[in-house]
Each structure stands twice: as C-alpha cells, then as structure tokens.
Amino acid sequence: MTTRIHIFSGIKNLAIGLTVTIRHLFSKAITLQYPDERWEMPERSRGVVVLLSDKETGELNCTACILCAKACPVGAIQVERHRGEDKRWKLDGFRIDNTICCYCGLCEEACNFDAIKLTGKYEFSAYDKASLMYDKHRLQELGLDVDYEPKRKKPAPKPAAAPPPDAASAGAKADASAPAKPEAAEDLPAAESRPAGETAPSNTENSDEEKGA
C-alpha cells in the first residue's frame, strides 16, 4: 500500500514538473541582448556612487563637510578641503575607492546637501584596481545625467548693499547722533511764568524731587 502511494506521488510530481517545462517551451524567451539592451534598474538601486551638481550652475553641490566620509563604514571616501576667505570649506578633491565600497548607502543618508547619490549604474568593471579609484571629476561626470529632487532649500538672496552715505546724510546722521535736548527742559515752567528772582531748577534737583516724590 505504501509502495503504491509513493508511485502515485512520484507520477504526480513528474506531471507537475513536465507541465512547467512544457509551458515555458512554448512561451516567448526573455533574453536580453546585452550590451545592445540593458535592464532598467529600479529607482533606488545601489550602484555606482556619484557626485551631484547644481542643476542651474552646474557646480558640485558638495560643501566639503566630510559627513559622508565619517559615515562610510569602510573608509572608501577621501575629501580634501581648505578654508576659504569667507571661512567656508572649499572642496579640493573627492575620491571614492570602489574596490572597497560596499554600496551601503550611508554616505547618501549622511549628506544634507544633495551632493552624493548611489545610482543604478553598474557597469564599471576594470582590468586594474587603480582605475576604480574615482576622483572628483569622474564622480561629477557620472552624476551629470542622474536626476534628483533637491531636498535642500537654497538660502534667499541677500538684499543689495546700501549706497555709501553722502555728506548730507552724514551730517544728518551726526545731528541725529548728537545728544538730544533734555526733554525735562520743555517741561520746566516758562521763564515768564516763573516768579522774579527764581531760577529754573537744575536737572539734578529735578531728579531729586522725583526721588523724593
């Protein structure tokens, strides 16, 4: 009885396998004629890392903050920078060692400036390892056709600098900066209404009275 069950089970499984084979035998073959044809990679693929450029100016978005280099778990990113006259970091060099990059995407997550991105590009095999060290220009070139949605708002343009004050306005400014006429004097009783021989009280006395009050 057990033997019969095994025989029927084997025939059933054989029929299922043959059904799959026959179905594929008559269906259209899915063969990609690489390199004439290429797969379209999903939007969030993690392939070659590139540097992104400003869509308007064409300059790299990188601010040389080195957050990506600090986030990289394998130390594949090297950033060279210096302080500019405006005290901001200026990017001198940027290198990614593709021989050790593990395409984790941490550099892209760490970057706050839409400057670095993993792409769906995957064809970068080479005969020597040295050519897999991509420099700033190569990384920028690879990123030129990469579309991205800028997440960072650009700072509003600064208002135009005020024109230098001319002599007249400088004089007016000097008047404005001159010590103001003490208002207390206006509040003092007029000389005509003051009894003869009485002098106007000084500011000091005024304040003493106020204190006494």
Which residues make up the interface to ligand SF4 (CB under 6 A)?
49, 62-68, 71-72, 74, 76-77, 79, 96, 101-107, 110-111, 113, 115-116, 118
According to DSSP, the residues that pair with 53 across neighbouring strands are: 60
Query: In terms of CB distance, is 65 or 146 closer to ligand SF4?
Result: 65
Minimum CB–partner distance for residue 98 and ligand SF4 (Å): 8
Minimum CB–partner distance for residue 121 and ligand SF4 (Å): 13
Query: In terms of CB distance, is 64 or 142 closer to ligand SF4?
Result: 64
Minimum CB–partner distance for residue 101 and ligand SF4 (Å): 3
Find the largest Cα–Cα distance for the chain: 143
Tally of CB atoms within 10 A around 140: 20
Query: In terms of CB distance, is 107 or 142 closer to ligand SF4?
Result: 107
Query: In terms of CB distance, is 130 or 160 closer to ligand SF4?
Result: 130
- CA 181 from centre of chain: 54
- What is the Cα–Cα distance from 115 to 156, expressed in whole angstroms? 20
Closest to 121 in 3D by CA, of 61, 46, 65: 46
Minimum CB–partner distance for residue 54 and ligand SF4 (Å): 12
- What is the Cα–Cα distance from 120 to 149, expressed in whole angstroms? 16
